[in-house]
Amino acid sequence: MQYFGSWSQHITQNNGSDELAKRPGPIAMLYDNTTVIGSWLPAEEMAQVSRKYSTSHFSRVVNNVTAAMPHAGVFAAARDPVNDILQPQDLKGLGEYEMIASVPSPTVNVLCASMEVKELAPMVFSLWPGSNGSDTDISGWPHKFDIPVYPDWLNRTTVDDLFGFGPKYGRRHPVFPKLPIEYNSVLNGSGAFIDSIYLLTASIDKTYMLCSLRASLTKDCSTKYNASMSGGVLSTHCSKEDEVFSYGKSEPSATNGVINSDWANVATDWALALSLNAGIEEGNASNARMLSQFIPSKPALEPSLPSIAEALAVLSGSTLLISTIDAPFKHFWNYSSPVLAEPQLESFAAIVRTQDYSSGGTDRWQNLFHLVLFGTFGLNLICLIYMLRKRMITDFIVPQNMFSLSLNSSASQALEGACGGGPEKEQLGLSWFIKCDPERYHFFIHGGKRKVNKKSRWRLKGIDLSSCLI
């Protein structure tokens, strides 16, 4: 649903494109709080490869994509206490960090090609000579059927070079029990020495599309994990700008394209769980119907619709994530035993950037606080300009300045008797001044004797420093 949501957003914003790199990429979810974002790897142009494998009487549509997914083990490594990385919850939600790991990334290649019924004859048992055709009883498939076993390479097909079938490539083509009806699919994931699973799908106009799915590791990507209090994002980065962090830079001996044959067993269970083999009994499964609607009608990607190869790559991306949980961070098995009795720590090259506090807002409404910040800055700037343009003055109200003035001033007769309990009654109405002796540059308090009324009292109290320049 997230993938279709991305497509809906692209179409709404008029961002549809027939270039694979500009289309919504693979997306998934890990542990319910981490968004997983994959990448499309470069592939041969769809029109060019379709033209290459077309015949004089049949214009074949070839849909070939490869999706790279991040290494799920990076998530566990970032949270392992051994690495001593402060998590967002350790900093009351204000912390955030980013890890760029130079580790191999799992990939799934989905190769789909449109085929005619006569081209499918070597691959569909009900079309074999001696079978009962559409009336073939498929119960007990495939164990109760007389299908040649390895090392028999079966008959040649018109797509041997496209899919890599035959003794030249060391791979047998799949055999399906029957042709699926429209909006259905049948699966082949069994057999000896298989490294791929195969899906045969039929659209409403009886266009048959044969798809192969196979997994491998790539050295051309890095895995990035960004963690915050609101959740995390685990993503792959395979562009030339991120090449410096790719796994191939830290492990120059790593290679691409080594197919993992064990993944085919995982993918078979995944496909059966999604009812992608329901077409064997004309089950009309919803997933098969959805995929059949994505079969391209021409050798070009539809800007407003994902292709069947893209959809299958996104659907199967979850198997890549699960397969890399607790998996090595190398492209090979570096242990003598096939099964480890105890978990082992492995190291990998990585860059970690941390943010231990937040200096800005996290929500849009918090931008209102910028008004206060800018206002405070403006007032401080005005005060600074004033202080630079004007000479400094002494604040005699400061307690230490007032204390010094009191000690250096002569006694006042008007305040006699007030030294013990403070001024009282009429003494409170006396005027006072701070004066300066210019010859000695001496400041002192001078008290008056004149009585004043309450209304004008504040006018008689003040500072008379006209004789001194300070």
Tokens of 282: 């004309």
Q: Which residue in 48, 51, 53, 28 sits closest to 38, CA to CA?
A: 28
Query: H-helix or E-strand containing 224?
Result: strand 222-228
Q: Which residue in 228, 220, 266 sits closest to 245, CA to CA?
A: 220
The whole-number pLDDT of residue 455 equals 46
What is the DSSP secondary-structure string of 270-334? Answer: HHHHTTTTGGGGT---HHHHHHHTT--SSSS--TTS--HHHHHHHHHHHHHHHHHTT--SSSS--
The whole-number pLDDT of residue 162 equals 96
Which residues of the chain fall short of a pLDDT of 70? 93, 134-135, 357-362, 391, 448-470
The whole-number pLDDT of residue 458 equals 38
What is the DSSP secondary-structure string of 263-276? Answer: HHHHHHHHHHHTTT
The whole-number pLDDT of residue 356 equals 72
Phi (first) and psi of residue 231, to 5 degrees: 145, -170
The whole-number pLDDT of residue 56 equals 84
Q: Which residue in 45, 39, 47, 43 sits closest to 23, CA to CA?
A: 39
Query: H-helix or E-strand containing 406?
Result: helix 399-407
CA dihedral 229→234→238→241, nearest 10 degrees, is 10
Tokens of 229: 């209090």
Phi (first) and psi of residue 463, to 5 degrees: -125, 130
Alpha-carbon distance of 333 to 310, in angstroms, equals 30
What residues pair up with 215 in beta bridges, in sequence order? 108
Burial string for 52-77 (b: 16+ CB within 10 Å, else e) reads: ebbeeeeebbbbbbbbbbbbbbbbeb
The whole-number pLDDT of residue 456 equals 41
**β-pairing, 432-437 with 462-463?**
parallel
The whole-number pLDDT of residue 91 equals 75
Alpha-carbon distance of 120 to 339, in angstroms, equals 41
CB-CB contact of 155 with 127 (8 Å): no
CB-CB contact of 262 with 214 (8 Å): no
The whole-number pLDDT of residue 377 equals 95
The whole-number pLDDT of residue 427 equals 73
